[in-house]
A and B are shown apart, each in its own frame.
Chain A
Amino acid sequence: MIEFLRRLFGQTGSSATAKERLRLVLMTDHLELAPEMIETMKRDLIEVISRHVEVDRERIDVTFERQDRTLAMLANVPILSVNRPNGNGARKQTRPPVRRRRRRKKAQLGGSVPARAGAT
């Protein structure tokens, strides 16, 4: 059985696997070596999102996760209030996550609206 699998996968070329692993491992390495870059990115992210909604800056959490074949950036951005131009006020429901693609990184914006969000 193992021999069969080995044949099956061996023929497809293990160098492709090596290349893929290398690409991912280097991405994680570079992120680890650049904590200030992540900080800058976080700031930029907050700035952009803040143009549209009011976010809880203290509780923003950005992490990186290795998924099957990609590296994903997961950003958890608690939203304090949503000011809509037509004056409808904040929505109480949790907004569905907005997905943004930036090259290979997936930015997942999981918005949660705390109870006090309705204050404005």
Chain B
Amino acid sequence: MQQLRNDLIRSEASELREEATGVILSEASERSEEAKSKDGRAIVITSGKGGVGKTTTTANLGTALAVRGARVVLVDADVGLRNLDILLGLESRVKHHLLDVLEERVQVEDALVPGKHTDGLFLLAAAQAREKDDVETLRMQALIASLRERFDYVLIDSPAGIELGFRNAVAGADEAVVVCTPEVAAVRDVDRVVGLLGNRFRPQLIINRLRPALVRKGKMLSVEDVNGILRLPLLGVIADEPEIIITTNRGEPLALRMQTPTGAAYHAIAARIAGDDVAAPMPAQAKASLFERLGAMLGGKRR
């Protein structure tokens, strides 16, 4: 633990964002270049702050990528607080978890839970009754590497924080998606996380839970405010929609409903991740005439 602390302190010392080399995470970069090109992509979804929507984002992007026809595995790296299974509606099907695999009690094939609603989507759930410190970084790296050989995308849902749990989640990844809400604390934490990640992960940004009506009234940080500070490549912006709560209640990611604006936004982000030349999705400007609002309300109730 002390060693870890020292590492962290040392890395902090050499870390202005621009020149950060991802010191603490550099051991992850030792894989050969040729292996990388053949394999799928391992993307960690992280944020620093908790409660900004990492898990929801992971579930929806995974679903959207799988709907596109990719083979996707979602790894819940939030050991001790298993959530991703709930968002995917798979909680009753999880038989084995990440630590069962890492500690070699079961083969990885036996621990992967196929998605309920989408072909090509699999979940490797976190352990609920264990702790983040129980994960061995090197084994985690090896596991992600082996998953990359079989899947097009390995999305790793990172726990909040920047401690060992975060570092384990990041260890096997070589790209990062950071999720930020338009709040001072969230932006500050993303800034910190991006500093820790360094350039190797080429972090890209998703702004989550934006309320266009509040932004218009000057009561919420705007996309420009947030990214004027973070200056990251913007994958897209997701509005704060009641639909997210409803779909979460049901365990059906909103990305399954491509016709909804937010569902479509997740698909656009997935397309951008896949390399398609589409614009970053932005929530519709809440011009909100009474007529439109009534329409939206009625539309919402019909479901």
Contact = CB atoms under 8 A, between A and B. Distances in A.
Nearest to B17: A30
Give the bracket for the number of chain A residues in contact with chain B: 20 to 34
Contact of B184 (A18, A30, A36, A37): A18
Contact of A19 (B16, B192, B225): B225
Contacts of B229: 22-23, 26
- SS of B interface (majority): helix
Given A15-B219, A21-B184, A33 B225 contact: no
Contacts of A35: 13
A29 interface: yes
A35 B10 CA distance: 11
A30 B183 contact: no
Nearest to A23: B229
A19 B219 contact: no
B48 to A, nearest CB: 12
B215 A15 contact: yes
A33 B221 CA distance: 25
A15 B184 CA distance: 10
Nearest to B15: A33
B222 interface: yes
A87 interface: no
A30 B191 CA distance: 9
Nearest to B188: A25
Contacts of B195: 33
User: How many of chain B's residues touch chain A, expressed as a range?
Assistant: 20 to 34
B14 A36 contact: yes
A30 B12 CA distance: 10
B284 to A, nearest CB: 19
Given A22-B188, A23-B229, A29-B188, A15 B221 contact: yes
Contacts of A21: 184
Interface in B214-228: 214-215, 217-222, 225
B15 A15 contact: no
A14 interface: yes
A33 B10 CA distance: 10
Contact of B16 (A13, A16, A30): A30
A19 B184 CA distance: 7
A26 B183 CA distance: 13
Contacts of B12: 33
Contact of B191 (A10, A13, A16, A26): A26
B218 A13 contact: yes
25 contacts: A10-B219, A12-B218, A13-B218, A14-B218, A15-B214, A15-B221, A15-B222, A15-B225, A18-B184, A18-B225, A19-B221, A21-B184, A22-B187, A22-B221, A25-B188, A26-B188, A29-B192, A30-B16, A30-B17, A33-B13, A33-B15, A33-B16, A34-B15, A36-B14, A37-B16
Interface of A: 10, 12-16, 18-19, 21-23, 25-26, 29-30, 33-37
